[in-house]
Structure 1
Amino acid sequence: MEKIRALLKNKKIAYMAETAAIVITASILGLILNRFGVAKENVLMVFMVGVLLVSTCTWGYEYGIFGAISSVLIFNYFFTVPVHTFAIMNPNDVALMAFFLIAAFISSSLTVRFQKQLIISKKNEETATRLYEMSEQFINATGKEKIIELGIRHIYEHTGYECIVELLDETVVSGAGKEYTSRDYMMFPIIGMVKQIGILKVLNHNQGLSVEQELIVKTAANQIGIALDREMIYAEQERIKVEVEREHMKSSMLRSISHDFRTPLTGIMGDCGLILESEDMDSPERAQLVQDIMEQSMWLMKMMENILSMTKIESGQQFINKSPEVVDDVINEASLHVIGLRDRRNFQVSLPKEVIVADMDARMIAQVIINLLDNAMKHTKEGGSISLSVSYRDNKAYFVIEDDGDGVLEELRERIFDEFVSGGDKSTDQKRGIGLGLTICKEVVHAHGGDIWEENRNVRGARFIFWIPAKQVE
C-alpha cells in the first residue's frame, strides 16, 4: 500500500492513470450507446468529450495526444467494420478518425494554452497583491532604519535572498557579517524623486533572478527610495519649522525685553533726575527715591537672571550643579530677594520641624522659588496674602506657594509653563514679566528629577506645587 501511495504522489503516473480512466469510461459509455442504436459518429463525440476532459484534468500536451490516439484505436476496434480488428474497410471511417485526431489535437492544445494563461494570470495577480501590500506598508513606514529593514525583509520573504542597502552616507547590512565580492550580488539603484540616493545589492550568488523576483526587487528598491526621500523631505521641513519657530521666539524675546525693560529704566532715570535736580530735597524723600531705584534695579536683575538661565537651558548644556543643601536656608535666602514681599503683602512661611536636606543646585531652586513668589506678587493686590509651605513625605520635599489673587485663567492652564506665556497682571506694581519665569521653574525642577504643577484654590487664588527628591536628617 505504501508503494502504491508513493506512486500516486508522482504527478506523471497520476495523470496517466486519470487519462486511462477517462478513456475507459468513454469506451464503456460508447459501447452502451451503440447497443441502444446510437450511430458510431455520435459515439465518436463521446470520445471527443473524453479527450477534452483529459486535457482539462491533466497538465501537458502528451496526455491529450495519448488520450486521442487511444480513443481512435478503441473506436476502430469496437465500432468500425470489421469489428474487433484494427483493419479499416470504409474510407469514410478513415476520414472520420483523421478529423477526430485533428480536432482532438487542436482542442487539447487550446486547453493546455488556456491552463498556462490561467496560471500566469494567477501568478500575476499574486505578484500584484504582493506589490500592493508592499507599497501600502511603505506608506506607513517612518524612520530611515525601519524603511530599509522593511525593504530588506520583503525581498527576503519573496525571493529568499538577503541584500545590502548602501546609502551615500552609511551602509545597512542584513544577514551574517561576511565579505562579498561583485560575483555574489546583483545591483539595483535606489532612486529618489530627483536623484540616486543609494544602491541595493541582492546576494543571489550568481543564481539569477526570475522575472517575478526581479520585479519585486526593483519595486522594493523604488519604494525604499521614495520612502527615504519622503523622510528626508519631512526632516528638512521639521528643521525649517524649528528654525522659523526659533527665529520667532528670538523676535518675541527681543520685543518683550525692549518693552519690559523700558518701564524700569524710565523709572530709574526719572528718580535719578529728581535727585540730581533737587538740591534741597529732604532725607526721607531722597531715601524713597533711592529705594525705588533699588527695587527697579533688582527687578531688572531678576529678569536678566531668567533670560540667562533660559539661554543655558535651550543651549542643551548642563546648567545644574547639585550639592547637599538644607531646604530652610534656601527658603530664607529666596524670600529676601522678592521686592515688597514682606512690606506690601501678608507673607507667611511654614517650615517642617525636622531638618530636610536635598541634593540640589541651591541657586537654581532659589530662582524657582523667587519666580513663583514674584508671580504671586504680580497677581495679588496690595495687602494680599501669600504663603509658602514646605512638607516632607516619601523621600520628597514638597514646596507649596499660594496666593489670594484671581487664580489662573482657564485658557492659560494648558500652556502656563510654556515660553512667553504671560497673563494679564493686575497688581498695583503694574510690572510684567517676559513669560520665562514659569518655564524656567519647570525645566529646573525636572532637571532635579521632580515635578511641578498648578491648580486654582477652592476659595480664591492659585496654588503652585513642586517637589524634588530629599531626605530627612535625624
Structure 2
Amino acid sequence: MEKNLENNHIQHVLICISSSKLSRKTILSAADLAMRNHACLSAIYVKKNSYFNQLSLKEKQELEWNLSQAEKEGAQVFCIYGKDVVTEIVHFVKKNQVDCVVLGNSLKKRHSFVERESIASKLAKKIPDTDIYVHKQSNDEESLLLKKQRKESIRIIKDVLFAFFILAFVTLCGFFMESWGFRDINIIMMYIVGVLLTGIFTSSILSSFICFLYSGIAVFAFNYFFISPVWTFKVYDKSYIGTFFVMFITAFLISSITHKMKNMASVLSLKANRTELLLETSQKLQKAVHMEDVMQKMSWQISHLLEKNVLYFMGDPNHYEPKQCVYQKKAFHPLSSIEMQAAIQAYELNRHTGYATDICKDSRYLFLTVRNGEKIFSIVGIDMEKEPISSFEEGVLLAMLSECALAMEKEEFVAKQNDAFTKLKQEQLRANLLRSISHDLRTPLTSICGNASALLLNSKEMSEEQRIRMYTDIQEDSLWLINLVENLLSVTRIENGTMQLNFQTEIVSDVVEEAISHIRTKPKQKFLYEEPDEILAAKMDARLMIQVLTNLLNNAVKYSYETSIINVKVFALGEECVIEVCDDGAGIRDEEKEHIFDMFYSAQRKVVDGRRGMGLGLSLCRSIVLAHDGRIEVHDCKPHGAKFQIYLRKEEITLC
C-alpha cells in the first residue's frame, strides 16, 4: 500500500529500521518527508533476541550503520526489546502520537509453506488512523538483492557438498582404521574431527545448521557402517545408544564452539583492521599543517582503502575547483553536469548524494560531506565505478570522515588562534611603538625647544662660543630625530610588505665610506677604516645598506667613550664579503645577545650621551640584511666592546 504523503497534517514521522542495506533509502525518504512537512522524526528498531542472534556480522554492522544514519538525518532513535515487532510499533505509535509510519519493502522471505501477512498490512489493521508508507525498491535494487541471494544459495550448496565430502572421507578412513585393528573410539574421534573441519571451512548463513546436520548423520553413519550388525541401523548392545548420544552432543558442541570462534575471529580481525586504518589516518592527519593538507591526506587514505579515484572540494563546488587523487594511474573520469549538480546538492543539503542515493542517483560518483554538525568543511567525491562498497569499508569510511572533520575543526581553531595571536602581537607592537615614541621624542624635542627659546630671548647676551654650542646641540638632536623617523618609516614598510628593493652590484668600500661620511663623532672620537686588499662587490640596495651601516656606526659612537677609536673593516671570507664595525665600549652581555635584534629591545648598556634608543635600529638592520639573503652577527671585541659583522654574498665584477 502506498499513500500520497504531501499532507500538511503530518507532524510526527516514524521510520522502522532493519538490518537491510536497502533500508537506507527508506531513511532518506522519511527524512525528506519530515523536512517537507516540518514534522518531528523518530526511528525505531524492535530487537528480538531470537532473530538478532541469527544475524550475520555484516548484517549487524549494516544495522548499526542504519541507526547512525537515521540519527544523522535528525531522527530520535529508539531501540526497543520485544517479542512481536507489530505490537511494539503499534504501542509506540499510540504513545507518541505518530501520524505516519515509513517501512521498507524487503524481498527477503522466510522459508515457509504458508504465506504470511506483511507487517504493513498488520499495522494498517491495528492503527487505521495512521498513514502507512511502504518504500518500494527500484528494479536495480531488486536485481542487486536477487543477485546477492543467488550468491548466498550457491555458497550454501558448496558448504553442503563440502560437508558430505568430509563425511565420506572420514567414513573411508574409518574402514581403513577398522581393518588395521583400531578401536571404535578412534573412529568416533575421526567423525568429530570431521565436524571440526566442517565448522572451520563452511561460511554460509546455514553453516551452523550444516554442522548440526553433519553431527546427526555422522552418528547414523557410525552405527550403519561400524556397529554390529553392520549395514543396518539395528543395535544389539544397548550401551551403544549412550555412545551415540554422547557422540552427537560432543560433535554438536564442538561445531557450535568452532562457529562462535570463527565469528569472534572475524569480528576481531575487522576491528583490528578498522583500528589500524583509523590509527594510521589519525597519525597522518596530526602531521597536516593546514586544512587543505588535512583534506589531501584524507583523500589519499580513502583512495587506498577503496582502491578508487577520489576528488574533493575545499568548500562550495560553485566556487572551488576539484582536487584529484588518482589511485595507481587509474583513468580519471572528469565530472559531468549531473555529477557537478550532485556535488552542489551535497553541499547545499548537507547530506550524501550521487551514486546509490536518491539524489542524482545516475551519477558515477558518490559525494560525501566532511562536516561537524551543520558546518561543512569540504565535499569528497568517490568514483564508484558502478561497484558498491562493503559494509566494513563503509563503516571505516564514515569513521575516517568524522576523524577528518575533527582534524579540520582543530586546524580552523588553530588558524583563528594564530590570527588572534597575530592581531594581539600587532596591538602590542603599536602600544610599544606609541609608548617608545612618546618617551623618546620628549628629550630631543625639549632640548631643541629649550635651546631655540634661549637663543631667541638671550642671544645678544651670549658669547659666540655659547651660541655655536646651542646651534650644534639643535643640529645633533634634529639629526637624531631624522634618523629615528627614517627607522620608523622603514619598519612600517617592512611590516606592511611594501618595502621595494633596488638590487644592483655595488663596490662595498664605496658604500661603507658613504655611510661613514654621514656620521658625526664626538670631538675626540675617530673612525679607523681598514680597506680590503682587493676590490669587493656585492649585490645590494645601496640606500638601505647605508641606513644599516648608519645605525651600526651611530650605535658605536653612542656607546663608546669620548676618546674611543671605532674600527671599521671590510674583508673577504670564502664566497662572502664581511663588513665589520667594532667599538671599545662596555660591550653586550651574553644573555642579551640572543635578543639584541628583537624589536623594541634595548640592552642594558651604558649610554655615554644619555640618549636612550627605541630598540628599532638593530631589528631594522637584521630585516634589511635578511632581505639581501645575508646575515648579521654580534660578538665580543677584545679587550672590551661589541663587534657587529654583516655577511653578504660576494659578486664577481668585470673591469672594462
Both proteins in one fold, TM over 0.5: yes
Aligned residue among 149, 153, 172 for 2:323? 172
Alpha-carbon distance in structure 2 between the residues aligned to 1:118 and 1:33: 40
Aligned residue among 598, 610, 614 for 1:434? 614
Deviation at 1:128, TM superposition (A): 3.2
Q: Tell me which residue corresponds to 1:85.
A: 231
Aligned residue among 640, 643, 654 for 1:463? 643
- Contact between 2:625 and 2:631, CA under 8 Å: does it hold in 1? yes
Quick one: structure 1 residues 213 and 389, their matched pair in 2 at CA, closer, same or farther if it must change by over 3 Å? same
Quick one: structure 1 residues 29 and 140, their matched pair in 2 at CA, closer, same or farther if it must change by over 3 Å? same
Per-residue CA deviation, residues 58-102 of structure 1 (Å, 9 max, x unaligned), is 42455774575355235224323xx34336376969977985896
Deviation at 1:210, TM superposition (A): 1.6
Q: Tell me which residue corresponds to 2:602.
A: 422
Q: Tell me which residue corresponds to 1:335.
A: 516
Matched letter for residue 432 of structure 1: R
Q: Tell me which residue corresponds to 1:75.
A: 223
Deviation at 1:134, TM superposition (A): 2.7
Alpha-carbon distance in structure 2 between the residues aligned to 1:235 and 1:15: 63
Q: Tell me which residue corresponds to 2:469.
A: 288
Alpha-carbon distance in structure 2 between the residues aligned to 1:461 and 1:221: 62
Quick one: structure 1 residues 57 and 375, their matched pair in 2 at CA, closer, same or farther if it must change by over 3 Å? same
Matched letter for residue 376 of structure 2: Q
Secondary structure class of the residue paired with 1:415: coil
- Contact between 1:68 and 1:104, CA under 8 Å: does it hold in 2? no
Alpha-carbon distance in structure 2 between the residues aligned to 1:377 and 1:193: 65
Per-residue CA deviation, residues 344-389 of structure 1 (Å, 9 max, x unaligned), is 4132122236544443322211111111111112221221221112
Matched letter for residue 379 of structure 1: Y
Alpha-carbon distance in structure 1 between the residues aligned to 2:374 and 2:429: 34
Q: Tell me which residue corresponds to 1:208.
A: 388
Is structure 2 residue 266 aligned with structure 1 residue 110?
no
Query: What are the residue-to-residue correspondences of 1:132-281 with 2, within 5 Å?
Result: 132-168=279-315, 170=320, 171-175=322-326, 176=332, 178-180=334-336, 181=339, 182=354, 183-192=363-372, 195-278=375-458, 279-281=460-462
Per-residue CA deviation, residues 131-186 of structure 1 (Å, 9 max, x unaligned), is 33333433343322332232222222222233222231533322235235332122
**Quick check: 178-187 or 211-220, which moved more?**
178-187
Quick one: structure 1 residues 19 and 63, their matched pair in 2 at CA, closer, same or farther if it must change by over 3 Å? farther
Alpha-carbon distance in structure 1 between the residues aligned to 2:440 and 2:433: 10
TM-score with structure 2 setting the length:
0.63
Quick one: structure 1 residues 159 and 362, their matched pair in 2 at CA, closer, same or farther if it must change by over 3 Å? closer
Quick one: structure 1 residues 315 and 101, their matched pair in 2 at CA, closer, same or farther if it must change by over 3 Å? same
Greater per-residue helix proportion? 1
Matched letter for residue 371 of structure 1: N
Alpha-carbon distance in structure 2 between the residues aligned to 1:193 and 1:156: 25
Per-residue CA deviation, residues 215-266 of structure 1 (Å, 9 max, x unaligned), is 0110111111111111111111111111111110111011111111110000
Matched letter for residue 348 of structure 1: L
Number of aligned residues: 457
Aligned residue among 300, 308, 318 for 2:489? 308
Secondary structure class of the residue paired with 1:314: helix
Deviation at 1:107, TM superposition (A): 4.1
- Contact between 1:379 and 1:425, CA under 8 Å: does it hold in 2? yes
Matched letter for residue 338 of structure 1: I
- Contact between 1:27 and 1:74, CA under 8 Å: does it hold in 2? no
Q: Which has the larger radius of gyration?
A: 1
Is structure 2 residue 306 aligned with structure 1 residue 125?
no
Q: Tell me which residue corresponds to 1:4.
A: none
TM-score with structure 1 setting the length:
0.84
Deviation at 1:419, TM superposition (A): 1.0
**Quick check: 229-238 or 122-131, which moved more?**
122-131
Deviation at 1:212, TM superposition (A): 0.4
Alpha-carbon distance in structure 1 between the residues aligned to 2:373 and 2:591: 44
**Quick check: 297-306 or 201-210, which moved more?**
201-210
Q: CA RMSD in A?
A: 3.3
Alpha-carbon distance in structure 1 between the residues aligned to 2:631 and 2:608: 31
Matched letter for residue 55 of structure 1: T
Q: Tell me which residue corresponds to 2:58.
A: none
Higher relative contact order (CA 8 A, sep 6+): 1
Matched letter for residue 485 of structure 2: M
